[in-house]
Amino acid sequence: MKCKYLEDVKQYRAKLPWWKWLLGYCPCCGRYFRWPITTERRHTQYCDPKSNYMTACRECHNEDDDYYDELWKEYNAGRL
């Protein structure tokens, strides 16, 4: 899925030193050698659309998805 906020991704990469980008630096976990670093939609529904996207490595995206899936599960269970 393509990110609606590609200009934010371009700004992030422009501010990132070239060697961090080359070495696969993940801004979420702070570790190197994490490829690919992508910007993907999170499992959130914030009013600010930029908050619904996260730039991180695959491992961080999976942890974030699991976290929000659990929160949505608790939220939906409480609505019954």
Domain count of the fold of the chain: 1
Residues 8-63: tens digit of each pLDDT = 666 666 677 777 777 888 888 889 998 888 888 888 888 887 788 888 899 999 99
Q: Is residue 50 part of a domain?
A: yes
Residue type (1 letter), 61: H
Radius of gyration of the chain (CA): 14
Q: Is residue 69 part of a domain?
A: yes
Residue 1 covered by a domain: no
Provide the pLDDT for residue 5: 56
pLDDT at residue 68 in the model? 93
Is pTM beyond 0.75? Reply is no
Q: Residue 3: enclosing H or E segment and its boundaries?
A: none
